[in-house]
Amino acid sequence: MGLLYGLIAVGLALIFGLMDVVNFAHGEFLMLAMYVTFFLFTFFAIDPLLSAPLAAAALFVLGAVVYLVIVRFAMRAKANVGMVQIFATFGLAIVMRGLAQLFFTADYRSVPNSWLGGKTVSVAGIFLPQPQLFGALVAIAAFGGLYLFINRTDFGRALEATREDPGAVALVGIDKNRVFALGWGLGAALVGLAGAIMASFFYIYPDVGASFALIAYVTVALGGFGSVFGAFAGGIIVGLVEATTALVLPPSLKSVGIYAVYLLVVFVRPRGLFGSM
Amino acid sequence: MDKSFTERRRRELLVAASLTVAAALVPLFIKNPNVQNIMILTLMFGALSQSWNILSGYCGQISLGHALYFGLGAYTTTLLFTKFGVPPWFGMLAGGAISALIAMALGYPCFRLGGHYFAIATIVIAEIGLLLIQNWEWAGAALGIEMPVRGDSWLKFQFARSKLPYFYFALALACIAWFVTWWLEDSKWGYWWRAVKDNPDAAQSLGVVVFDSKMGAAAVSAFLVAIGGSFYAMYVSYIDPGSVMGFQFSLLMALPAVLGGIGTLWGPLLGAIILIPLTELTRSYIGGSGRGVDLIVYGTLIVVIALARPEGLIGLFSRRKEASR
Amino acid sequence: MTALLETRGVWQRFGGLVANSDVSISVGRGEIVGLIGPNGAGKSTLFNLIAGVLPPTQGSIWFDGEDVTNLPAAERCQRGVGRTFQVVKSFETMTVIDNVIVGALVRNTVMREARRKAHEVLEFTGLAARADVLASDLVPAEKRRLEVARALATEPKLLLLDEVLTGLTPTEAQTGVALVRKVRDTGITVLMVEHVMEIVMPLVDRAIVLDLGKVLVEGKPKEVVRDPKVIKAYLGDRHAVGA
């Protein structure tokens, strides 16, 4: 579970690190990815396993469009920049939730009997539900891929350079807007991947994003905003804390443990565990 | 000296007084309880948003967890009344005081966080508050608690037959929140807060104690919001954690100010006058048939305002005034 | 008479980097002192230490006969240290007069008094006509002036000016120089950081040259500009070799 949290969070961290913007519609991106997976399964009987790349691709487009249509202008605001960013993405989140209610209705959906669903694997005597295990594997693969991508490709380097100094980048002929749009696309694609995996073992409904989004913010803040490795580590910590809390407290309180740990960490290290001070 | 300034301040008071009188007369002509309900909610959210505006608008610390203080006010009043028979008037003050104290206790660590970090911390803290109340059996847990009906009484602030007392109370609330803001605007605190919002480093170099400024703003803001929460509890006479402490309440407090003009004197009220009736109307007319439409209208409005007019709708008025000058 | 400001053996390290090493300077009452030096000499760091932005790693800072080493910036302002910023930090959403009122509130608790004081300062600095304009609408030279006005409103004993004359047109710089003289004539001590020597030298009573975090030379402007060490520091070894 922690790895999945990490996967949800890493897209957020990527965008924040790139341009210092928190996407408050991140949870709704996740929700949408889950619906994409659901409909692909229902209408075309495409297994979540196979639709994951499709969901990622769809979200990539969505992320890029959101940047070009909304965020690009939000960053141009002269006054109240922080406020504008928060409320522009928030407004988007509300619209997306409304659209989901309108078109997908508020019913709870699920992807039944997927290729992986309901089966368990036994690893060293411990039974693990197969979808989760698979999700963890995908998450690890995605992190590995992302790491290579950022460090080894031209685009990754452009991303890194733009985050260091957008002005200087413009001078060497890189279009800042294109890099940012691709960054948003990439961040959204990662959450699309996470959504596709999660669709096979979570109920899907219009508000599903909200609960995961808060955990994603906590994960990102815990690891240190903007740090991809931090999001990964933060995800694992959150997963562990959640599992531990579940042993001690009633299930309705399981998130309290995560939140409490988060608060402790940021109060001691305001920029998170792996953030630069 | 500076006559124009003194005049402007006096004119603001005058406008506010005339608006109050005008508003006070409205229910004499409009007797429809549904419309009265909308007016009460509008005034209440105007007051709440005005209070939120003190911390987030003037002082620039965007809080998305003010539902915590709203809920504290509602719960303190209700619990004191149902469990100990304490009249809501005292419960209201107690709730305000508790909220202000908690706001300062939370501010102590939180105000070291900047920007987004602060906003997220406030969401998380409010969420913890919500979860704790949801699991607190004595306080009704997730089911909530009901105010026992003890007949019409000013002391207990219960009126079954008429909405008028509630209306006037909400009006008083809005007036108080407005007046406190007006008064603080031209005080040391008002200047300190705006300086802290614009540039904390420069503020410090001019003798502004940044930390104290934020603490002061948080305390005043939380106190007023809690009073609003108490009022809401008495008005609806039944509260549950989700409906008074949920995240959407934090959002509802922020939106009127954002819409009308964040960090301005009239913005929150203007925003509430537009937003609350709009919300209620969409909810009652289209809400039933196609759920989600109200959210779409709402969200679009926020995005458009945030992008096209970050200084809020109030900017339309002041700009016109400047042009005519 | 004791000096108004004194730094005693001040060190500042950032990790492995030494920004100030063993800096001891003093500024007497009523003086205009120039703090100059090439880029990266540690001027800004020293300036921030004096203003109280951060405490020094080692050493102490004395102001008006008291040890202020560990006092935060706001507290030092209350004791009489006013400052401007190299990169202007106006309160952009506030009007010019409101910007200055923030400063005036340090010594005036009654709003009406603070407002009157702010108007006085605007008159003094030649910004009176712009009182009701938003700070964000000022031109750069006016913003610099607003920085000075704000600091003056705190009624400082010592005014720290951080490159207020840099980047101005010659005419603007002339007006700036006149303003600094006028400030000194009201009895305020001035310590100014400038990168460009030509502007400050005719203005200051005394110059302190920093290089590589240390005090290199200190003395009358005329002596300082002729000092070979200063010439070398400013022009670098390239020039020394060429000569």
Is A162 in contact with A174 (CB distance < 8 Å)?
yes
- Mean pLDDT within C138-158: 89
Strand partners, C218: C208
Q: How far apart are CA B182 and CA B10, in angstroms?
A: 11
**Higher-scoring residue by pLDDT: B222, B84:** B222
* Contact of C153 with C104, CB cutoff 8 Å: yes
Cβ-contact C155, C106 below 8 angstroms: yes
Query: What pLDDT, on a 0 to 100 scale, did the predictor assign at position A87?
Result: 80
pLDDT of residue B134: 77
pLDDT at B223: 92
What is the domain extent for residue B29?
3-324
What is the domain-level CATH number for residue B14? 1.10.3470
Taking residues B71-79, what's their average pLDDT? 87
pLDDT score at C5: 83
Contact C91 B192 (CB under 8 A): no
Please tell me which of A167-181, A236-250, B70-84 the model is most confident about, judged by mean pLDDT: B70-84
Chain B residues with beta carbon closer than 8 angstroms to that of A266 = 113, 117, 121
- Please give the C-alpha separations between residue B182 and each of B51, B192, B195, C106, in angstroms, as whole numbers: 12, 15, 17, 22
- pLDDT tens digits along B102-130: 888 888 888 877 777 788 888 888 888 88
Neighbours of A155 (CB within 10 A): 16
Identify whether the C-beta of residue A230 lies closer than 8 Å to the C-beta of residue A273: yes
Residue B148 DSSP label: P
Residue C69: per-residue pLDDT: 86
Residue C150's pLDDT band, with cuts at 50, 70 and 90, is very high
Taking an 8 Å cut-off on Cβ atoms, the answer to whether A101 and B291 are in contact is: yes
Determine if residue C64 is left, alpha or beta; phi over 0 gives left, psi from -120 to 50 gives alpha, anything else beta. Answer: left
Q: What is the pTM of this model?
A: 0.84
A176, pLDDT greater than 80: no
- pLDDT band at B61, cuts 50/70/90? confident
User: For the segment C9-39, what is each residue's pLDDT rounded down to a tens digit?
Assistant: 888 888 778 888 888 888 888 889 988 887 7
Q: With a CB-CB cutoff of 8 Å, which residues 52-111 of chain B face chain A? A: 62, 64, 109-110
| C164-189 residue pLDDT tens | 888 788 888 888 888 888 888 888 99
Residue B277 CB-density burial (10 A; 0-12 exposed, 13-18 middle, 19+ buried): middle
Greater confidence (C100 vs B2) lies with C100
What does the alpha-carbon distance between residue B204 and residue C152 come to, in Å, rounded to a whole number? 15
One-character DSSP codes across chain A:
-HHHHHHHHHHHHHHHHHHS---TTHHHHHHHHHHHHHHHHHHH---HHHHHHHHHHHHHHHHHHHIIIIIHHHTT-SS-HHHHHHHHHHHHHHHHHHHHHHHH-S--B--TT-SSTT-EEEETTEEEEHHHHHHHHHHHHHHHHHHHHHHHSHHHHHHHHHHH-HHHHHHTT--HHHHHHHHHHHHHHHHHHHHHHHHTTS-B-TTHHHHHHHHHHHHHHHH-TT-HHHHHHHHHHHHHHHHHHHHHS-GGGHHHHHHHHHHHHHHHSTT-SSS--
User: In chain B, which among 25-84 make CB contacts under 8 A with chain C?
Assistant: none
Q: Residue A98 is nearest to which of B109, B134, B292, comparing CB atoms?
A: B292
Dihedral pair phi/psi, residue B312, rounded to 5°: 90, 170
Diameter over CA atoms, chain A: 60
Domain count within chain B: 1
Instruction: Check residue C239 and give its pLDDT.
Output: 46
Please report which confidence band the pLDDT of residue B140 belongs to, taking 50, 70 and 90 as the band edges.
Answer: low
pLDDT band at B221 (very low <50, low <70, confident <90, very high): very high
DSSP string, C4-29: SEEEEEEEEEETTEEEEEEEEEEE-T
The pLDDT, as a whole number, for residue B206 is 87
φ, ψ of residue C61 to 5 degrees: the values are -125, 130
Q: Looking at per-residue confidence, does B22 or B144 come out higher?
A: B22
Q: How far is CA B18 from CA A109, B10, B274, C190, in A?
A: 54, 12, 19, 52
Residue of B nearest to C155 (CA): B206
Between B187, B198, B208, which is nearest C74 by CB? B208
Q: Which neighbouring-strand residues pair with B146? A: B238
Interface of A with B in 46-105 (CB under 8 A): 70, 73-74, 77-80, 82-84, 86-88, 90-103, 105
Output the CATH code of domain C1-80+157-164+188-238. Answer: 3.40.50.300
Q: What is the pLDDT of residue C142?
A: 87
CB contact under 8 A, C105 and B2: no
Query: Which of the two residues, B284 and C69, has the higher pLDDT score?
Result: C69
**What pLDDT digit, counting tens, does each position of B45-58 carry?**
988 998 998 888 88
In this complex, do C74 and B207 lie within 8 Å of one another by their Cβ atoms?
yes
Lowest mean pLDDT among A93-107, B199-213, B258-272: A93-107
Mean pLDDT of the C180-203 span? 85
Rounded Cα–Cα distance for residues C7 and C46 (Å): 9
What band does B322 get if pLDDT is binned at 50, 70 and 90? very low
Higher pLDDT, B283 or A170: B283
Query: Mutate which of B55, B110, B124 to test chain A, going by most A C-beta atoms within 10 A?
Result: B124
Q: Are A95 and B131 a contacting pair at CB < 8 A?
A: no
**Confidence label for B154 from pLDDT (cuts 50, 70 and 90):** low
Could you tell me the pLDDT band of residue B323, with boundaries at 50, 70 and 90?
Answer: very low
Q: How far is A183 from chain B (nearest CA, A)?
A: 19
Mean residue pLDDT of chain A comes to 71
What value does the mean pLDDT take over residues B248-254? 84
**Looking at chain C, which residues constitute the CATH 3.40.50.300 domain(s)?**
1-80+157-164+188-238
Q: Looking at CA atoms only, how far is residue A77 from chain C in angstroms?
A: 13
Query: Is B258 in CB contact (< 8 Å) with chain A?
Result: yes
Secondary structure of residue B239 in the 3-state scheme: strand
In the block, tokens 């002596």 appear at C223
pLDDT above 80 (res A160)? no
Beta bridge partners, A129, equal A120
Task: List all residues of chain B from 191 to 220 with a beta carbon under 8 Å from chain C.
Answer: 191-192, 194-195, 197-199, 201-210
User: For the CA atoms of A176, A274, B122, B257, what is the dihedral angle to 10 degrees?
Assistant: -10
Residue (of C5, C102, C13, C32) closest to B188 by Cα position:
C102
Enclosing H/E stretch for C189: strand C189-194
* Contact residues on chain C for A78, CB-CB shorter than 8 A: 136
Looking at CA atoms only, how far is residue B255 from chain A in angstroms? 9
> Are residues A97 and B258, on separate chains, in Cβ contact within 8 Å?
no
- C109 and chain A in contact, CB less than 8 A: no
B-proximal residues of C, 13-52, CB under 8 Å: 51
Say which residue the tokens 């733009």 belong to: A162
Supply the pLDDT for residue B325. Answer: 36
Residue B212 — φ and ψ, nearest 5°? -60, -40
Q: Is the pLDDT of residue C110 over 60?
A: yes
Determine the distance from the C-alpha atom of residue B203 to the mean position of all C-alpha atoms in its chain, rounded to a whole number.
27
